[in-house]
Amino acid sequence: MTRDDILRFAHLSKITNPDDGQIKFGQPTAKCLEQFANLVAEAEREACAKVCENLGAYGKDVAIQKATLSDAASAIRARRIEDDCDTKSN
């Protein structure tokens, strides 16, 4: 994740001022911080899932390895659904 990604997430979460990109005066609300954290987590999950998808299978049972890597990528992406449920229950 790049610095630009983090700044974009801060802007999308309304933590920074859209005019100059500076942090808004005062403390960000819990809702803004939660949205920022969710955007960062989603980006990291997607990066991890892509690593799984891009790993090469080799040797015996290539089909099984590819399926396992695909399942791992799906499980990582499914964490978003779990996180959303956890957030709603708090």
pLDDT tens profile 16-69: 877 777 777 677 888 999 999 999 999 999 999 999 989 888 888 888 888 999
Is the pLDDT confidence value at 87 over 70?
no
- For the entire predicted model, the pTM comes to 0.72
Residue 59 falls in which region: left (phi positive, over 0), alpha (psi -120 to 50) or beta: left
Q: What are phi and psi of 20, to 5 degrees?
A: -125, 0
- Give the model's pLDDT for residue 17: 79
Compute the Cα dihedral for 65, 50, 47, 3 and give only its sign. Answer: positive
